[in-house]
Amino acid sequence: MPNAEPVITMRGVKKSFPGAMALKGVDFTLQKGEIHALLGENGAGKSTLIKILTGVYERDQGEILLDGTPIHPRNPQDAQKIGISCVHQEINLCPNLTVAENIFIGREPMKFGAIDWKTVNKKSYEIMKGFGLDIDVTKTADSYSAAIQQMVVIARATEISAKVLVLDEPTSSLTAVEAKKLFDTMRALKEKGAGIIFVTHFLDQVYEVSDSITILRGGEYVGTYKASELPKIELVAKMIGKEYKELDEANVRSGKAVSGEPFLSVEDASSSEISDVSLVARKEEVLGLSGLLGSGRTEIARMIFGVDPALSGTIKVKGQKVKIKSALSAMRLGMAFCPEERKKEGIIGDLSIRENIVLALQAKRGIFHLVPRAEAERLADLYIEKLAIKTPSREQSIKNLSGGNQQKAIVARWLAANPELLILDEPTRGIDIGAKAELQKLVITLAGGGMAIIFISSEIDEMLRCCQRMVVLRDKSIAGELDGDISESRIMSFIAGGADSAKS
Amino acid sequence: MKKNFALIVTGLLFALLFGAGVAVYGFKLSTFLNLFNTNAYLIIVSVGVTFVLLTGGIDISVASNVAFTCMFLAVTMRAGLSPLLMIPLALAVGTGAGLLMGYLIQNFNLQPFIVTLAGQFFLRGLCAVISTESIAISNSFYTFMSLGKITLGRGNNIYFYVFIALAILAGAGFILNFTKFGRGVYAAGGSEQSALLMGLPVKRIKTLVYAVSGFCAALGGVVYSFGTPAGYSLQNMGLEMDAISSAVIGGTLLSGGAGTVAGTTLGVLIQGIIQTSVTYQNLNTWWTKVMNAALLCVFIAIQRVLAARAEKAKTAKPAISKA
């Protein structure tokens, strides 16, 4: 029931960072009882806008009104006090505290001057049950999976009974079923009159729950639309400022059975995390590893790359039997692995883009063969240009880049090491549609140039676009292999295991 | 559960060592009580340091704080001032020093190690400026506090000041487990970024832990002066490391977020047992340090192994629950 009763009004909000103008005067209005999607490419300023609203950053200019009163939240605590709470993309939990505590910390019910743990635990259990999770809330948060942790964060935010709830990419670590549950919760909150700002890269989800859509591009306000009146194609065009057709070029190669020579073959290999893996990765080919979150995709990649080394079975590289005992030995064999959690396992925030890019090459050569500065600069410039990394200079600290650009820099790092096999684990998670298309195109181009690629992604569209062959996983084992005739329904049927297919 | 586990391991180790002491040297109840009598001040100091370690910080100024408190009390007692006024003043000064360090660390985003190192030099230096001589304390209140004890049968004594340590232990346990500040300490140590985004006053918490540590150090100093009624500028050198190692043996992670004051106390007592054994064996007292060092290494290795095993148990589970 969107009516003309704004809860948040932002006018002419400006913010700049050293070397970049993040917001160039943005307007944004959130009504009571609406779900409002905030969309834009990486670096469009969504995150900055949200961080200003929630008090993480201070704005340089402009005004924010909450129920008509100007506000200046100086930190997230301030923002929470006036009724603005936020769920971020990264899971913000204290891993050492219990689930119950994570929901209630800072607002624990007190009894006789002491925290009333009984009530905390009882209420938390009920709250999680309301989300359909029947779990032991007295266990620490780190004993649960990422998806459950994210639900805990959301439970906390909704429990604060906020006037304004900001959800910044809340679904990137959730399964389809869990995301559905979250949407139900969002709708229930909306009915109660809360205003919800929803940031996501999944456009289907935007249309599933949102009432209105505001688009930002390059730090500027593009417009606000009713979700029902804005076709998806037009939305994408507005977000990236160009026609959608370009994105579909990538389709050309898909489905064609191009097979080069096998670069890697794995036979009945098992690691501590996964068993009985057999697959072949060929040159000039993108091999997809498909399956739900936790189905064992990443575990296979980690085994191949020697992070969790294979304990049994045979691994051959170019026909030669090899033992891959560490990541370094995998690198020496010509492999590269671009991991899923780039913040945790990938980037080194304080180093410059140049340093981050040459890191893998340096490791491969060994510390006594320093990559010369001139070569490093040349490589950095080359890949910044080739992958269109948006940065003022190659000497910029990588942490200052947006998510998509960080991801590109990591891909660049592995490309700089000139691998023959490149493993990409969720390379496009959390990055915008333009950067996604660029990365997909890059993957296909690289395969075309003779590289063998193993591609892992949760997005079936993307897999269909990029992969020539696909190995489908279910519950930590290989459910089947698709060659040539790859379609969404076939993948789904493998994932669902022929039983009641949960196509959603 | 995890924290209880570390506590149980420490408790078992304590029981094991004490049992061995009973078997080999004939430890008695009096030996047990004397562990408290001789280490009461260290328990207090270590409990304070545990607060700081739980947030992921470090405080190496506490030994100097202890020495300064003793020196301050010795000088003011010599001047004939009332201990009932000067002890609270000494506590206020110690707390203030901790608060100031916490403020500097948080507000200027400085390294805790450096700031508390400066605090260590400053307070130790101040002691020597006051006097390089040892100054004895003698007045009726001190006589009462240093000799007052409860006797449980022959030779089994508990000095009154041990109860100060026990009260601090109970108070700290309550604060850490049942107050918002206490839970905030764990949250800030577990994930500072998350705690911040959850709206916890992280800056205030991380400032206040140094004040807690400063208070405990000063109170530890007061208790030390009850046991050894004198002020001397070079006393208790290196005590800060004893406090930190007690906490670590007791299961506190230096990275923050895990640990208990009960564990820390056991850590102090374990080191006390080693010291007692070394004395019984008629060895050079430096063997205490050697033994402590070995124990410390063993302990952190055990912690690492347990943590790795827990990690493994977790990843072995399927990542999605059938919700």
Whether pLDDT at B323 is above 60 = no
CA distances from A287 to A273, A282, A447, A466, A495 (A): 21, 8, 10, 9, 17
Contact assignment for B321 to A273 by CB distance below 8 Å: no
Q: What is the pLDDT of residue A155?
A: 85
Size of interface A-B (CB pairs under 8 A): 105
Is B309 touching A (CB cutoff 8 A)?
no
Q: Is the dihedral of CA A442, A444, A445, A447 positive or negative?
A: positive
Q: Which residues of A touch B1 (CB under 8 A)?
A: 139-140
Contact assignment for B187 to A94 by CB distance below 8 Å: yes
For β-strands B157-159 and B149-151, DSSP reports them as: antiparallel
Q: What is the pLDDT of residue A490?
A: 76
Secondary structure, 3-state, A114-136: EECHHHHHHHHHHHHHHCCCCCC
Nearest C-alpha neighbor of B40 from the set B208, B224, B293: B224
Is B314 touching A (CB cutoff 8 A)?
yes
Secondary element (H or E) of residue A464: helix A460-466
Contact assignment for B319 to A96 by CB distance below 8 Å: no
Q: Tell me, yes or no, if the pTM score tops 0.80.
A: no
Q: Angle formed by the axes of helices A403-416 and A353-365, to 10°? A: 30
Query: Which of A102-111, B2-11, B44-53 is modeled with the greatest confidence?
Result: B44-53
Nearest to A294 among B186, B200, B319 (CB): B319
Nearest C-alpha neighbor of B101 from the set B59, B45, B42: B59
Say if CB A144 and CB B207 are below 8 A apart. Answer: no
**Residue scoring higher pLDDT (A219 or A36):** A36
Is A101 touching B (CB cutoff 8 A)?
yes
**Residue scoring higher pLDDT (A107 or B167):** B167
Whether pLDDT at A163 is above 80 = yes
> How many angstroms away from the CA of A402 is the closest CA of chain B?
18
Q: Which residues of B touch A76 (CB under 8 A)?
A: 196-199
For residues B119-148, give the mean pLDDT.
91
Q: What is the pLDDT of residue A262?
A: 87
Nearest C-alpha neighbor of A103 from the set A114, A89, A117, A90: A117
Say if CB A179 and CB A151 are below 8 A apart. Answer: no
Encoded tokens for B81: 């001032």
> How many angstroms away from the CA of B200 is the closest CA of chain A?
6
Contact assignment for B184 to A105 by CB distance below 8 Å: yes
Nearest C-alpha neighbor of A448 from the set A307, A283, A217, A336: A283
The DSSP secondary-structure symbol of A141 reads: G
Q: What is the pLDDT of residue A499?
A: 39
Residues in B 158-197 with any Cβ partner in A closer than 8 A:
174, 177-180, 183-184, 186-187, 189-191, 193-197
A268-282, A392-406, B66-80: least confident range: A392-406
Say if CB B222 and CB B137 are below 8 A apart. Answer: no
pLDDT classification of A254: cutoffs 50, 70, 90:
very low
B181-232: pLDDT as tens digits? 999 999 999 999 889 888 889 999 999 999 999 999 999 999 999 999 899 9
Contact assignment for A96 to B189 by CB distance below 8 Å: yes
Q: What is the pLDDT of residue B245?
A: 92
User: CA angle A367-A388-A43, nearest 5°?
Assistant: 105
Residues in B 255-294 with any Cβ partner in A closer than 8 A:
257-258
Nearest to B320 among A93, A95, A294 (CB): A294
For residues A159-178, give the mean pLDDT.
78
Domain extents for chain B?
29-308
Nearest to B323 among A132, A143, A146 (CB): A132
Nearest C-alpha neighbor of B126 from the set B69, B48, B211: B69
Whether pLDDT at A307 is above 90 = no
pLDDT classification of A181: cutoffs 50, 70, 90:
confident
CATH class of B29-308: mainly alpha
Contact assignment for A114 to B174 by CB distance below 8 Å: yes
Encoded tokens for B54: 């739980």
Is A349 touching B (CB cutoff 8 A)?
no
A372-428: pLDDT as tens digits? 888 888 888 888 887 778 888 888 888 888 777 888 888 888 888 888 999 998 888
Q: What is the pLDDT of residue A204?
A: 78
Q: What is the pLDDT of residue A246?
A: 47
Please name every residue paired with A478 in a beta bridge, in sequence order, or none if there are none. A473
SS3 A379: helix
> How many angstroms away from the CA of A384 is the closest CA of chain B?
30
Burial A143-169 (b: 16+ CB within 10 A, else e): bbbbbbbbbbbbbbbbbbebbbbbbbb
Q: What is the pLDDT of residue A258?
A: 57
Residues in A 179-238 with any Cβ partner in B closer than 8 A:
181
Cα–Cα distance, A373 to A357 (Å, whole number): 12
Whether pLDDT at B3 is above 70 = no
Interface mutation target, options A105, A112, A154, chain B, most CBs of B under 10 Å: A105
Nearest residue on chain A to B174, alpha-carbon basis: A114
Contact assignment for A181 to B197 by CB distance below 8 Å: no
Whether pLDDT at A498 is above 70 = no
Contact assignment for B1 to A56 by CB distance below 8 Å: no
Contact assignment for B183 to A115 by CB distance below 8 Å: yes
Is B11 touching A (CB cutoff 8 A)?
no
Cα–Cα distance, B2 to A204 (Å, whole number): 41
Contact assignment for B180 to A115 by CB distance below 8 Å: yes
Contact assignment for B198 to A293 by CB distance below 8 Å: no
Nearest to A76 among B2, B199, B316 (CB): B199
> How many angstroms away from the CA of B296 is the closest CA of chain A?
23
Nearest C-alpha neighbor of A495 from the set A291, A321, A358: A291
Q: What is the pLDDT of residue B312?
A: 59
A253-262, A418-427, B65-74: least confident range: A253-262
Is A270 touching B (CB cutoff 8 A)?
no
> How many angstroms away from the CA of A385 is the closest CA of chain B?
34
Q: What is the pLDDT of residue A249?
A: 45
Nearest C-alpha neighbor of A417 from the set A314, A305, A268: A305
Is A273 touching B (CB cutoff 8 A)?
yes
Q: Which residues of B touch A87 (CB under 8 A)?
A: none
Contact assignment for B200 to A93 by CB distance below 8 Å: no
CA A428 from centre of chain: 7
> How many angstroms away from the CA of A55 is the closest CA of chain B?
9
Whether pLDDT at A226 is above 60 = yes
How deeply is A498 buried, as exposed, middle or buried, from its count of CB atoms within 10 A (0-12, 13-18, 19+)?
exposed
B14-66: pLDDT as tens digits? 999 899 999 988 888 999 999 999 999 999 999 999 999 999 999 999 999 99
Is A14 touching B (CB cutoff 8 A)?
no
Whether pLDDT at A433 is above 80 = no
Nearest to B190 among A77, A85, A94 (CB): A94
Percentage of chain A surpassing pLDDT 70? 89
Average pLDDT of the residues of chain A? 82
> How many angstroms away from the CA of A502 is the closest CA of chain B?
13
Residues in A 463-482 with any Cβ partner in B closer than 8 A:
475-476
Say if CB A149 and CB A91 are below 8 A apart. Answer: yes
Residues in A 74-93 with any Cβ partner in B closer than 8 A:
75-77, 79-81, 85-86, 88, 92-93
> How many angstroms away from the CA of A2 is the closest CA of chain B?
29
Q: Which residues of A touch B194 (CB under 8 A)?
A: 92-94
Contact assignment for A181 to B323 by CB distance below 8 Å: yes
Interface mutation target, options A97, A128, A293, chain B, most CBs of B under 10 Å: A97
Encoded tokens for A16: 């700049």
Cα–Cα distance, A364 to A24 (Å, whole number): 43
Percentage of chain B surpassing pLDDT 90? 61
For residues B60-78, give the mean pLDDT.
95
Interface mutation target, options A50, A96, A181, chain B, most CBs of B under 10 Å: A96
Average pLDDT of the residues of chain B? 89
Q: Which residues of A touch B187 (CB under 8 A)?
A: 94, 97, 105
Q: What is the pLDDT of residue B316?
A: 44
> How many angstroms away from the CA of A380 is the closest CA of chain B?
31
Q: What is the pLDDT of residue A293?
A: 65
The DSSP secondary-structure symbol of A310 reads: -
The DSSP secondary-structure symbol of A211 reads: S
Q: What is the pLDDT of residue A503?
A: 36
Cα–Cα distance, A137 to A149 (Å, whole number): 11
Q: What is the pLDDT of residue B101?
A: 97
SS3 A318: coil
Q: What is the pLDDT of residue B211?
A: 97
